[in-house]
Amino acid sequence: MSKKKNLPLYENILIIGIAAEGKALTRINDCVVFVPYCVPGDIVDLQITKKKHNFMEARVERFVKYSDRRCEPQCPHFGNCGGCKWQILPYEEQLRYKQQQITDNLTRIGKVELPAISPILGSERIYEYRNKLEFTFSDQRWVSWEDIHAAGGIDNVERGHGVGFHITNCFDKVLDITDCRLMPPLNNQIRNFIRDYAVSHNLTFFNLRQQTGFLRTMILRTTEHGAVMLIMVFAEEQTDAQNALLQAIHENFPQITSLLYVINQKANDTINDLPVHLFFGEDHIMEQMEDLQFKIGPKSFYQTNTRQAYELYKVARQAAQLSGNELVFDLYTGTGTIANFVARQAKQVIGIEYVPEAIEDARVNSQINGITNTLFFAGDMKDILNRDFIAEHGRPDVIITDPPRAGMHEDVVNTILFAAPERIVYVSCNPATQARDLALLDDAYKVTRVQPVDMFPHTQHVENVVLLEKRKS
């Protein structure tokens, strides 16, 4: 058996920038080093944890001097929970780096001619902005180095039960969360009550490796107008125990307007293919955007930052430049939010989405709002959007596309080129794959507007809206 190499410790290293995945970066002997939970200007002692040919990864052993650009994180779990790595950066700095991320991706990957990139639209709220979070139950909570040191060694640590988030890259390790600042305080009260009730009533928490236990996950959804949905996911049927828990939740939190549960005995946590049972209230909640109502069910997709989603959709609608006479294709339509949002300014909107349940939601949302000029189709984008589809429904004047992080399949890009709309509005949650797709469209389309929108403060993620207009022949 080969002996594991001892990796070096470097002292008094200056952090010089921000890199991908929210990590900071520095250089040691001309080698790039990625470090989490630092900001430019920090001076640190670094323990190398991974060494490759052209880069290294490290963790901070000691902060020698804190940067003047650093601020205090609000979350008590910062440094253990990997969800909001940029809380130590002032929000203005976060926006600056996200703007740079857009510029770098579009220029280095896309290599297309660009107009001046508009200043990023920051989020009105930088805490309590999420409308959905999912928490996992674990019969052995993850313990940090701080926990181990405080207890005087790992053998003295009381692991106990936990309800919280998965540790990054560890499917079976769950950090117990007591105070998450991404949703309103009610979220914390509900989750902590459920944990305390479960412990006091000897309800078993899920073991992720052995796939045993009773309490598995919980999903909280809220609206801007105060509706609350809670979905409890049980790993096995225990009728008396689950009813008693749900009744206790209902009695202690009358604010919950939709109380649901799922029995999930599968090896994965997805509930899209499972029946959802109603315990109390409605089986959905309603969100409003302008004068439109959107029905959100337990399986519905809806942008998780409601207020900033409105800003994003306004940018997309403005970029589409609709006069009321256009045929619009809305690709990757989800629950039809953008399609319904622009429908009153178009002649007809056709939405396409892979998930059948999402398409049903999209149709319901059109019906709720009295919108009669939408059509929705479910299926794989590259299979539905083809030349026969265009021959049947007509050539679109405008295409709005909002693909997943992987971007658009090359067949979809080719069909868009065949359809030859006057304008393409490309909404992306991943500027790297967006840049790749822009390069594929570049011969026929010119980028005329770029508008970044920050949907997720304290993370490295950023949305970007690009307007492409057909080149003159």
Measured distance CA(106)–CA(266) in Å, rounded = 41
Choose the catalytic residue: 38, 75, 81, 429. 429
* 429 classed as catalytic: yes
Alpha carbon distance 393, 329 (integer Å): 10
Q: Taking a C-beta distance cutoff of 8 angstroms, is the pair 163, 191 a contact?
A: yes
Q: Please identify which residue in the block is written with the tokens 């265009």.
A: 390
CA distance 199 to 188: 17
**Residue positions annotated with a catalytic role:** 429
